[in-house]
Amino acid sequence: MPYVSVGKENSKDVEIYYKDWGKGQPIVFSHGWPLSADAFEDQMFYLASRGYRCIAHDRRGHGRSSQPWNGNDMDTYADDLAKLVEALDLKDSIHVGHSTGGGEVARYIGRHGTKRVAKAVLIGAVPPLMLKTPANPAGAPMEAFDQIRAGVVVDRSQFWKDLSLPFYGYNRPGAKISEGVRESFWLQGMMAGFPASYFCIKAFSETDLTEDLKKFDVPTLVLHGDDDQIVPIADSALLSSKIIKNATLKVYKGAPHGMCTTLKDQVNEELLAFFKG
């Protein structure tokens, strides 16, 4: 299995797993919490079949990557991504980030610039800031994230099962529920180590990415569902699309957080059109 070493902890290599499909211009996918590269397989297969090289990694602590105690923060996630990009010598890359992965892409550009980046896509992404602060009064209160932490500590297996319902909008009237999708979400969640499952909550909720978004100088597409129950659109895409220079905002009516799965055909076509445009 392909891995890139990104550092050491307790004298052992911290290794990042990645999948690498197809040939052509590279598209690099950054997944959400608590998932893995598998969350983007619908997009990867579609785009690799249409002349792109699709690369997706498991963030540290998630999926098949190492599960270190340290480094479950946005700076380290971004630096891990940079090391992967450099190890594979990727150039003219398109970076696609969903949810926490959107924060990872933003911090990657903020810390490492766009010399290797051609375009960016943020899908249901957490930027600019999820937490309610004096400067961000519309954000969610700390108590909301404390409840998520408590759910992970008490019984994270059941927590992932429960979270899959609002994640995919399966708790809405008339929703067509796929138990297979819910089981895949649970399986990916259970592959994440306990430290990453817990510490990543602080990373995605408390990291202010406003200044990172101001450094975007490549064409950027912002996709978000207006029924996203995990990352509400008013506090994320509607703000980030104004901060990023010349960003294109596409709002999917009634779409949930997990729209890369529930609306994969629509999302795939949207991505392909943006990449070709």
The predicted-structure confidence for 206-227, as pLDDT tens digits, reads as follows: 999 999 999 999 999 999 999 9
Query: Would the pLDDT of 1 be above 90?
Result: no
Crossing angle (nearest 10°) for helices 194-206 and 74-87? 100
Across 252-274, average pLDDT? 98
- Catalytic (active-site) positions: 99, 228, 257
With tokens 């990042």, the residue in question is 16
pLDDT digits (tens, 9 = 90+) for 223-259: 999 999 999 999 999 999 999 999 999 999 999 999 9
Q: DSSP state, 106?
A: H
Query: Can you tell me the distance from the alpha carbon of 214 to that of 232, in angstroms, rounded to the nearest whole number?
Result: 21
Query: Can you tell me the distance from the alpha carbon of 108 to that of 19, in angstroms, rounded to the nearest whole number?
Result: 19
Q: What is the pTM of this model?
A: 0.98
* Residues contacting 155, CB < 8 A, separation 6+: none
Q: Quote the pLDDT of residue 65.
A: 98
Q: DSSP state, 73?
A: S
Confidence of residue 145 (pLDDT cuts 50, 70, 90): very high
Q: State what percent of residues in the chain have pLDDT above 70.
A: 100
